[in-house]
Amino acid sequence: MIFPSRFGLLAALACFPGTAPAQDNCGRREPAPGLLVQASWLVNHRQDQDLVVLQVERNRAPFDSAHISGARFVAMRDFTAKRGELLTELPPLAQLDSLLESLGIGERGRIVLYGEILPVTRLFFTLDYLGLGDRVSLLDGGIGAWRAVHGEVTALPTGIPARGNLTLHPQAAVLADAGWIEAHRSDPRIALLDVRSREEFEGTKLEEGVARAGHIPGAQNLEWSTLLADGRFRAPTELQQLLAAAGATPGKELVTYCRVGTRASAVYFVARLLGYPVRLYDGSMNEWGSRKDLPIVGPPKP
| pLDDT tens figures, 211-253 | 999 999 999 999 999 998 877 788 899 999 999 999 999 999 9
Does residue 212 lie in a domain region? yes
- Please say which residue of 154, 188, 206 terminates a domain: 154
Does residue 166 lie in a domain region? no
Does residue 142 lie in a domain region? yes
Say how many C-beta atoms besides its own lie within 10 A of residue 250's C-beta.
Answer: 10
Check whether 89 has a pLDDT greater than 90. Answer: yes
Given phi > 0 = left and psi -120 to 50 = alpha, else beta, which region is 70? left
Q: In angstroms, rounded to a whole number, what is the distance separating the alpha carbons of residues 70 and 276? A: 33
Does residue 24 lie in a domain region? no
Does residue 7 lie in a domain region? no
Burial of 156 (0-12, 13-18, 19+ CB in 10 A): exposed
Does residue 10 lie in a domain region? no
What average pLDDT does this structure show over 181-201?
97
Does residue 75 lie in a domain region? yes
pLDDT band at 25; cut points 50, 70, 90? low
Residue 134 sits in the same domain as residue 195:
no
Q: In angstroms, rounded to a whole number, what is the distance separating the alpha carbons of residues 226 and 64? A: 30
pLDDT number for residue 162? 94
Q: In angstroms, rounded to a whole number, what is the distance separating the alpha carbons of residues 284 and 259? A: 5
Residue 127 sits in the same domain as residue 223:
no
Summarised one tens digit per residue, pLDDT across range 100-111 is 999 999 999 999
Rounded to 10 degrees, the C-alpha dihedral 271/122/255/260 comes to 150
Does residue 132 lie in a domain region? yes
Please give the full DSSP string across 186-209, using - where no structure is assigned: T-TTEEEEE-S-HHHHHTSSPPTT
- Please say which residue of 97, 128, 154 terminates a domain: 154
pLDDT number for residue 140? 86
Residue 137 sits in the same domain as residue 178:
no
Residue 142 sits in the same domain as residue 195:
no
Query: How many domains are contained in the chain?
Result: 2
pLDDT band at 24; cut points 50, 70, 90? low
Q: pTM value? A: 0.89
Residue 61 sits in the same domain as residue 120:
yes
What average pLDDT does this structure show over 136-161?
93
- Please say which residue of 120, 154, 188 terminates a domain: 154
What average pLDDT does this structure show over 262-270?
97
124 within 8 A of 152, measured Cβ to Cβ: no
Residue 122 sits in the same domain as residue 183:
no
Residue 178 sits in the same domain as residue 110:
no
Residue 219 sits in the same domain as residue 127:
no
| CA distances, 57 to each of 3, 11, 232, 299 (Å) | 15, 26, 17, 34
Domain CATH number, residue 183: 3.40.250.10
Shortest CA distance to 2 belongs to which of 122, 143, 150? 143
Residue 207: give the domain boundaries.
172-288
Residue 202 sits in the same domain as residue 258:
yes
pLDDT number for residue 3? 43
Summarised one tens digit per residue, pLDDT across range 110-134 is 999 999 999 999 999 999 999 999 9
Residue 48 sits in the same domain as residue 145:
yes
pLDDT band at 17; cut points 50, 70, 90? very low
Residue 92 sits in the same domain as residue 200:
no
pLDDT band at 277; cut points 50, 70, 90? very high
pLDDT number for residue 264? 98
Check whether 29 has a pLDDT greater than 80. Answer: no
Residue 180 sits in the same domain as residue 266:
yes
Pairing type for strands 253-257 and 278-281 reads parallel
Burial of 152 (0-12, 13-18, 19+ CB in 10 A): exposed
pLDDT band at 23; cut points 50, 70, 90? low
pLDDT number for residue 7? 40
